[in-house]
Structure 1
Amino acid sequence: MNKFSKEVMSVGEMASGTKLTVPVYAFKGKNNAAASVYIQANMHGAEVQGNAVIFQLLELLQHCNLQGNITLVPYANPIACNHKNGEYTLGRFDPITGVNWNRMYHFDESVIEPFVQQYLDASEEEIKDKFQQLLLSEVENKLKHSTWGLTTGQCIAYQLQRLAHQADIVLDLHTGPISSKHLYCPEYAQASAKYFDIEHTILIPNDFDGAMDEATFCPWWSLQQAYENLGRKFTMGQGVFNKESFTVELGSQEQIDLDVAKQDALSILSYLQYQGVIDNKQYQPQKMTRYAGYLKDYKALYSPMGGMVDYLAEFGKPLAAGEPLVRILRMDNYGDGDALHYVSLEQEVIPILHFASASVNQGTELYKVLCNYFEL
């Protein structure tokens, strides 16, 4: 049986002086050459299913043939976890700054070109070691040498990012409002998506927009491109550049299901088996039809009016053009107008998620749908 270590990491302080802490679990693999993994959950307050998945992973990993190191962090954002309003958990945005908690990570692309010039002829191992050290020092400098200080969210994000930069593979576990399971996957890592038991994949460009997955794969992608521009060819996803990061959307927020979480954990183990992090061939991807599309074709449908919404479209199933996604009830029109209004689209789509409440204002995001999709 594999043993794990547990530490409690302080990520900030409350006004009373109380420490904000998160638990950090770690397994040590037996093969130094195997890929290492970082998994975190619950960066957004209501997105709690990832904690159940980490629980199931901790249970299963103790009995795996573990090759690479694995670090797991549930309750990644203690402020968001505890941000309640009545019976609802909020915690998607920093209540002080209004910034999305998952848009505060750091990447400064200006460090790439000087690094490549300095290590243009270095060995692959030296490039990997030195660049990882650079990324870690960038985060350390943000944490320790910021003249003007850090926001609470930055302080939390940078300490999580410090752990993530020490890994080759990063999985950031999230959920939607009312949602199907889906995967945000870098375009270059498309081949890896079929090793998760997730039917829908959104392929994201190799650009940084502040999220954890981007903060951990974009630096390596930018480095690979810079070397290629100077005539040294590397392939992203192989060798020294075998770096992959995903946002794994596990369904709907504000609920956990330990049985479903075990299936999600098995899905992750299937991917880790493919990557050689574990050597347990019983963990294989399920046979299923997997659809993918590009982020530019992942569209939001906004409500044309206020009202009470009946969400009609099923998740994960192609919806034909003209078929209604919702019907909106307007009781104020009853008796002297149309009380029911149907909303549809002029193209076939796959509905992925919808708004959590039936009560919407005009302009509320009703659904997010995948257009121009294809089979993986």
Structure 2
Amino acid sequence: MQIHRHSLPSAAPGTVRELVSFHFGTPGAGPKTYVQASLHADEIPGMLVAHYLREQFTRLDAQGDIRGEIILVTMANPIGLGQSAHGVIQGRFEHESGINFNRGYHNPVPFLKTALHGRLTDDAAHNIALIRAQARLAVGQWQTHTETDAMKKVLLGLAIDADIVLDLHCDNEAVLHLYTGTPLADAVAPLSALLGAHAVLLATESGEQPFDEACGRVWWELAGHFPMVPIPCACLSVTVELRGQLDVSHALARADADALLAFLGHAGQLAQTDGAVLAPACQATPLAGVEPIIAPHAGVLVFHATPGQNLQVGDVVADIVDPISSDVTTLRASVAGVLFARTMQRFVPRGGSVAKIAGAVAFRSGNLLGQ
């Protein structure tokens, strides 16, 4: 194992932060996997999963059982981890700009369309290697001006040429679910099965350039732009939502780490695999089919439906009780699907997010992820 420390530009005199990445295996000797945890710094489950992954990767590396290279960032957002208000970490948005830490990653595709013109061939392996080299160059040329953008550049630079990218997040209160690109639906199925995901949400463009999409979209967009040459989807880039923010336990983290290791073995990243992978527990559905349940007015939130529950159209999700008028508004599902996430708050403002249901039919457009 090698430890790399990436210094970030000082945001103010007398301060300095760094990202730490752990490197296992041998670069160029096989596939490359990149795993990062807690890009939203207040989403803690991924850090504990990464702790157990580091233990296992260290053991496997010492045994020579890693094929190629694995990079692990156990805590991907030192800026967000340092933001707190009255003892509560505020790790989703940068305080200075209000920008979500998982939005605004550099899109290398416009650069690549120009840089690759006339250089791609009928050899898919040649094309993959060339695209990865040029993608590294594109990220390296990203001109950043803030500490946060510099951090994003380091993270994207570590991941942009990987075969597998796993970005470990969580929701408020949730069951385990995944986000990935629509062209990756078949490739993500073994991961979904091993993790026991309750929902797999697909999009080719979800809005505002999140991290996983910045890595994955390169391949399907270039394949569409250069249809006469073979360009496979050579990066399985996935956001893994590890249930809810309070789902932090050794038992869950060990089980999730074991599932991720089993997937890497199945994908050929490790010398040994545990064998066959069962069928996924859920069918992938479009991100555009997710119904966001929104509070029509402020009030006390009382849930009837729980994360993981399959709902039909008209089923009750929650009540909102106005504590002054005593009016009660009942919120119901307007799509059939699994309720995969809901808010931790029990008093919601008007327009506040209440819950999300994974429907099978796309009906939304624009920014599909929200804030």
| 2:15 pairs with 1:18 | yes
% identical aligned pairs: 23
The RMSD of aligned alpha carbons is 2.3
Q: How does 1:205-216 map to 2 (within 5 A)?
A: 205=204, 209-216=208-215
| Aligned match for 1:310, one of 297, 302, 316 | 302
CA contact (8 A) 1:112 1:226 kept: no
Distance in 1 of aligned mates of 2:275 and 2:177: 20
- CA apart distance, 1:304: 1.4
CA contact (8 A) 1:169 1:245 kept: yes
Distance in 2 of aligned mates of 1:112 and 1:207: 21
Distance in 1 of aligned mates of 2:40 and 2:255: 22
| 2:172 pairs with 1:177 | yes
CA contact (8 A) 2:183 2:220 kept: no
CA contact (8 A) 2:32 2:163 kept: yes
Taking a change above 3 Å as real, the CA distance of residues 11 and 256 of structure 1, as seen in their structure-2 partners, is farther
Distance in 2 of aligned mates of 1:348 and 1:255: 26
- What secondary structure, in the 3-state scheme, does the structure 2 residue paired with 1:233 have? coil
TM-score (norm 1): 0.87
CA deviations 1:241-261 (Å, max 9, x no partner) are: x22100111111255222101
Q: How does 1:216-365 map to 2 (within 5 A)?
A: 216-228=215-227, 231-234=228-231, 236-237=232-233, 242-253=234-245, 256-282=248-274, 285=277, 289-334=281-326, 338=327, 340-365=328-353
Aligned to 2:367: none
Taking a change above 3 Å as real, the CA distance of residues 30 and 78 of structure 1, as seen in their structure-2 partners, is closer
- CA apart distance, 1:224: 2.0
Taking a change above 3 Å as real, the CA distance of residues 315 and 208 of structure 1, as seen in their structure-2 partners, is closer
Taking a change above 3 Å as real, the CA distance of residues 372 and 202 of structure 1, as seen in their structure-2 partners, is same
CA deviations 1:265-286 (Å, max 9, x no partner) are: 1221222122100132226545
| Aligned match for 2:49, one of 49, 53, 71 | 53
| 2:9 pairs with 1:7 | no
Q: How does 1:96-115 map to 2 (within 5 A)?
A: 96-115=96-115
Distance in 1 of aligned mates of 2:299 and 2:39: 31
Aligned to 1:44: 40
- CA apart distance, 1:91: 1.6
Aligned length: 354
Aligned to 1:202: 201
- What secondary structure, in the 3-state scheme, does the structure 2 residue paired with 1:170 have? strand
- What secondary structure, in the 3-state scheme, does the structure 1 residue paired with 2:136 have? helix
CA contact (8 A) 2:307 2:342 kept: no
Unaligned runs of 5+ in 1: none
Tell which structure's C-alpha radius of gyration is larger: 1
Distance in 1 of aligned mates of 2:210 and 2:6: 21
- CA apart distance, 1:207: 6.7
- What secondary structure, in the 3-state scheme, does the structure 2 residue paired with 1:332 have? coil
Distance in 1 of aligned mates of 2:174 and 2:275: 25
TM-score (norm 2): 0.88
- What secondary structure, in the 3-state scheme, does the structure 1 residue paired with 2:94 have? coil
CA contact (8 A) 1:35 1:168 kept: yes
Unaligned runs of 5+ in 2: 363-371
Superposed structure 1 runs of 4+ greater than 6 Å apart: none
- CA apart distance, 1:70: 0.3
Aligned to 1:28: 25
- CA apart distance, 1:41: 1.0
Distance in 2 of aligned mates of 1:283 and 1:18: 49
Taking a change above 3 Å as real, the CA distance of residues 223 and 30 of structure 1, as seen in their structure-2 partners, is closer
